[in-house]
Amino acid sequence: MSTFSGPVFDMAKTQFEAIADYIDIPHHERPRILLPKRAITVTCPIHRDDGTVAVFEGYRVQHHLTFGPTKGGTRYAADVDLGEVTALAIWMSWKCALAGLPYGGAKGGIAVDPYSLSRRELEALSRRYMQEMIPFVGPHTDVPAPDMGTNEQVMAWFMDTYSMYQGATVPEVVTGKPVSVGGTVGRREATGRGVAHLVARAMEHLNINPRGATAIVQGYGNVGSVSALTLAEMGVKILGVSDHTACYFDPSGLDLGAIEQHVAKHGVLAGYSEAGLFDPKELLIQPCDILVPAAVERVIDAATAAKLRCRILAEGANGPTTPDADLVLAQRQDEIFVLPDILCNSGGVIVSYFEWVQDIQRLFWEENEVKERANQILDRAFHQVLDRVKRDRVTNRTAAMAIGVEKVRDGKRKRGLFP
């Protein structure tokens, strides 16, 4: 039995096998491209505030080292396991390759509900996890970043812990740090801004006017909130938002400013208002122009895919749509335009790349430069995907993944096998 298993890993494998069939990768070559280079499991003991000791399991998976260090976020969630982290690392590889970044994919995680920890406990756990990872990460080996359940503060603790052991400040060991300790301007907003930028490109392509268009966003964290705010700045009306604590829907449009104020104060949507509370299971299937899943994976299965009533599905989250759902979407007559995750949310890793470059050079850019360069890379990837779709009559996801897989395969073949 393989160490790499579970529903999310199986999903990444199924997607890969379909791409490998499409681009004719011989079966004997496939494990070398799919399976990760390294998978690290650690246990992290911490003192709880009540005086007891708790132990949490942590993971880091490094998918391939063909183009340079591996790169990927760190997820704190109760149900994180090695299979999920591996799938996320694999998707990061295709994403970095599609964007043309000199990285392989990685991902890390700790099986913990971050909302159940005090700030002191969160700091202790983050520092212990990074300390356990020191032999395996580094600016030219593997560069962690934030993901679900982690943020700029957690990255600052990671950077500080690593630096203390090196005896010098090493900002380039993680990205997504606060700007004051070597982060780049525009990183916190980068993923959501990238989602909105690509939605704008998709709207141009489909002749939809953003003014008067409508959107629903699932997940009101880093990616979801910035996607919603940036779409609203473009004139899009936000009809629905949700997080793990509450769901709001109003067909005439929500007051995003008031929601932002509430979340800034309380951290979550719960308690925002009694009016507009909605069943989260029904949110994704309400009519809208743009649907942005920006929370967890596998929220759109075949049954939900058949009921979607959006025109653009912009995947802010990683892996929100199952392979079965993809088949349903491909057969629908009304053609929903899918911005697949490895394209749609790649603004985050693109600006993380800029942060790493700036940290190594100790030369920092203005926000406009960050935005313009990120948009250039997003536009290049978007057009490469559309050209491939036109050429081969495949879905947007198949085109995006095929471009990523082909680049990784080509790199491995050119470098050859050592020894």
184 binds ligand NAD (CB under 6 A): no
Which of the ranges 249-257, 313-321, 366-374, 388-396 carries the binding residues for ligand NAD, by CB under 6 A? 313-321
Nearest distance, CB of residue 90 and ligand NAD, angstroms:
13
User: From the list 148, 170, 216, 394, which residue makes contact with ligand NAD (rule: CB under 6 A)?
Assistant: 148
Q: Which is nearer to ligand NAD, 18 or 270 (CB)?
A: 270
- Residues 221-234: b if buried by 16+ CB within 10 A, e if exposed: bbbbbbbbbbbbee
| Tokens representing residue 128 in the block | 């212990």
CA distances in angstroms from 236 to 185, 193, 226, listed in the order given: 25, 14, 13
105 binds ligand NAD (CB under 6 A): no
In the DSSP assignment, the letter for residue 244 is: S
Q: Which is nearer to ligand NAD, 177 or 409 (CB)?
A: 177
User: From the list 157, 220, 249, 353, which residue makes contact with ligand NAD (rule: CB under 6 A)?
Assistant: 220
66 binds ligand NAD (CB under 6 A): no
Catalytic residues: 107
294 binds ligand NAD (CB under 6 A): yes
Residue 194's identity, in one-letter code, is G
Nearest distance, CB of residue 119 and ligand NAD, angstroms:
16
Strand (E) or helix (H) holding 98 = helix 82-99
Q: Which of residues 189-218 bind ligand NAD (CB under 6 A)?
A: 191, 218
Nearest distance, CB of residue 146 and ligand NAD, angstroms:
5
Residues touching ligand NAD, count (CB under 6 A)? 25
In the DSSP assignment, the letter for residue 135 is: T
345 binds ligand NAD (CB under 6 A): yes
* Count of C-beta atoms within a 10 Å radius of residue 417: 7
Nearest distance, CB of residue 354 and ligand NAD, angstroms:
13
CA angle 104, 109, 115 (to 5 degrees): 140
Nearest distance, CB of residue 220 and ligand NAD, angstroms:
4
* Count of C-beta atoms within a 10 Å radius of residue 153: 15
149 binds ligand NAD (CB under 6 A): yes
Strand (E) or helix (H) holding 241 = strand 237-242
Q: Which residue is nearest to ligand NAD (CB)?
A: 221
User: From the list 36, 105, 186, 348, which residue makes contact with ligand NAD (rule: CB under 6 A)?
Assistant: 348
262 binds ligand NAD (CB under 6 A): no
399 binds ligand NAD (CB under 6 A): no
183 binds ligand NAD (CB under 6 A): no
The contact mask relative to ligand NAD for 235-254 (x = CB under 6 A, - = no) is: -------xxx----------
User: From the list 223, 228, 232, 256, which residue makes contact with ligand NAD (rule: CB under 6 A)?
Assistant: 223
- Residues 90-128: b if buried by 16+ CB within 10 A, e if exposed: bbbbbbbbbbebebbbbbbbbbbebeebeeebbbbbbbb
Residue 264's identity, in one-letter code, is A
Nearest distance, CB of residue 113 and ligand NAD, angstroms:
11
Q: Half-sphere exposure of residue 53, counting CA atoms within 13 Å on the CB side?
A: 4
Q: Which is nearer to ligand NAD, 75 or 407 (CB)?
A: 75
What is the DSSP code string of 29-45? Answer: GHHHHHS-SEEEEEEEE
CA angle 346, 5, 400 (to 5 degrees): 25
What's the rounded Cα separation, in Å, for the pair 122 and 145?
Answer: 16
User: From the list 221, 240, 276, 404, which residue makes contact with ligand NAD (rule: CB under 6 A)?
Assistant: 221
For residue 240, the cross-strand partners are 216, 249
Nearest distance, CB of residue 243 and ligand NAD, angstroms:
3
Instruction: Provide the binding-site residues for ligand NAD, judged by CB under 6 A.
Output: 73, 146-149, 191, 218-224, 242-244, 280, 294-296, 316-318, 345, 348
